[in-house]
Amino acid sequence: MTWQSFVLGAVAICFSLALVPAVMRRQGPPLSSCVVTALGMMTIIVCYITLGHLWFASATLALNASIWWVLAWQEFTSPRGLAGEVMRDVHRRHGSRPANAAELEDFARQYGPSLPSPGPTGLEKIGPGGPVTRD
């Protein structure tokens, strides 16, 4: 094992250890970042292997790429919203609960439908005098 393989491998191990908290809390970087990083690392692994003397660095980088694939899988299968929270967590934090069907119907009777008026896009455009609904 060359000293370069040892140094590159030690850095890859440090990077792997730095990713452990993200895996444990199941809240990592965006999916695109995970996939691009994992693919980039796999490309580097192929380059290391073709050089012929960076086997330790290749193995440790493969471990790191595997962790990035785990993060990508967690992000792909995550039910989190845009803020990174599951609605269960939001309800727990605010001491609330989701509405049942009867409560939703009562809300619609009192305040009208909660969805925008139907149209080609379901949205209103803003005119000089305020919102203008599409016909």
pLDDT digits (tens, 9 = 90+) for 77-121: 876 654 566 677 777 788 888 888 888 888 888 887 766 555 555
Residue 122 lies in a domain: no
Whether residue 57 is predicted with pLDDT greater than 60 in this model: the reply is yes
Q: Count of domains in the chain? A: 2
- Domain assignment present for residue 126? The answer is no
Using the Cα atoms of residue 104, residue 105, residue 111 and residue 115 in order, give the sign of their dihedral. positive
Same domain? For 95 and 43 the reply is no
Same domain, residue pair 43 and 70: yes
Nearest CA among 18, 17, 20, 6 for reference residue 59: 6
- Looking at the fold, whether 91 and 72 belong to one and the same domain comes out as no
- The lowest-confidence range among 1-10, 17-26, 94-103, 117-126 is 117-126
Buried b (16+ CB within 10 A) or exposed e, 42-78: eebbeebeeeeebebbbebbeebbebbbbbbebbeee
Considering the domain architecture, whether residues 67 and 108 belong to the same structural domain is answered as: no
Query: Is residue 132 situated within a structural domain?
Result: no
59/92 same-domain check = no
Write out the residue range of the structural domain in which residue 92 sits.
Answer: 83-113
Residue 46 has pLDDT above 80, yes or no: yes
Q: How much is the pLDDT for 133?
A: 54
Domain boundary among 52, 76, 100: 76
Residue 9 in this model has a pLDDT that exceeds 60: yes
Residue 24, helix vs strand vs coil: helix
